[in-house]
């Protein structure tokens, strides 16, 4: 299915549930995020006053979704499984929480420090990850600044707090391994 078809289906679904009633332009931001992140899973929130499409497994802050789960009784949540299955299954709050807590990095597949650094930098360079609520941080993504990132995420983005804690620990483990010297 093409992205254009997915966007049309999303528009139809929003109309069928009569949400959002106000700030319908939020849907355009959702469609921009869909174009940016492509064929992947999302949690899509539709509420009376707006919408939010959160791509899963990128490390984006779930702050707004969590806030609206607690504070907005009009908020409804849907699972978008990608371009091939556009069914918009409605989610309960516990299902939303389960989906948004998945990390953006598969640490078990990382074999060396260069791979780890590249994966962490890719995640941190995404503006949707570097934002927490309404604050965006401009911190270098090099390993010497990972502790600053950890402090930034601590208390604001539990998934990224766990990712940065694990990345720092793993980098230290790679650094403490003896290097094999090559014999010519």
Residue at a domain's end among 49, 73, 100: 100
Residue 32 shares a structural domain with residue 115: no
Domain that holds residue 144: 107-176
The pTM is what?
A: 0.85
| pLDDT by position in tens, the chain (length 184) | 789 999 999 999 999 999 999 999 999 999 999 999 999 999 999 999 999 999 999 999 888 889 999 999 999 999 999 898 788 999 999 999 999 999 999 999 999 999 999 999 999 999 889 887 677 889 999 999 999 999 999 998 999 999 999 999 999 999 987 765 555 4
Residues 50 and 85 in one domain: yes
Q: Find residue 44's DSSP bridge partners.
A: 53, 78
Alpha-carbon gap, residue 79 to 88, rounded angstroms: 5
Q: Of 70, 100, 130, which residue is a domain's last?
A: 100
Let me know if residue 181 belongs to a domain. Answer: no
**Virtual CA dihedral for 13, 18, 19, 25, nearest 10 degrees?**
80
100, 131, 160 - which closes a domain:
100
In this structure, the answer to whether residues 138 and 169 fall within a common structural domain is: yes
**CA distance to 144, 150, 155, per residue, from 42 (Å):** 32, 25, 23
For residues 76 and 136, state if they share a domain: no
How many domains would you assign to the chain? 2
Pair (12, 85) in one structural domain: yes
């Amino acid at each position: 299915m093409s992205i254009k078809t997915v966007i049309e289906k999303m528009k139809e679904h929003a109309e069928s549930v009569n949400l959002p009633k106000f700030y319908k332009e939020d849907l355009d931001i959702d469609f921009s995020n869909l174009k940016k992140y492509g064929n992947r899973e999302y949690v899509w929130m539709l509420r009376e006053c707006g919408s939010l499409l959160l791509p899963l497994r990128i490390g984006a802050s779930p702050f707004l979704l969590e806030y609206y789960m607690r504070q907005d009784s009009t908020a409804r949540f849907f699972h978008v499984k990608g371009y091939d299955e556009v069914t918009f299954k409605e989610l309960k709050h516990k299902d939303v929480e389960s989906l948004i807590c998945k990390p953006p990095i598969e640490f078990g597949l990382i074999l060396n420090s260069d791979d780890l650094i590249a994966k962490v930098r890719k995640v941190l360079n995404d503006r949707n990850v570097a934002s927490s609520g309404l604050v965006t941080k401009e911190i270098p993504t090099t390993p010497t600044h990972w502790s600053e990132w950890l402090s930034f995420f601590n208390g604001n983005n539990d998934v990224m707090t766990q990712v940065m804690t694990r990345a720092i620990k793993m980098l230290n483990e790679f650094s403490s391994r003896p290097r094999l010297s090559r014999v010519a």
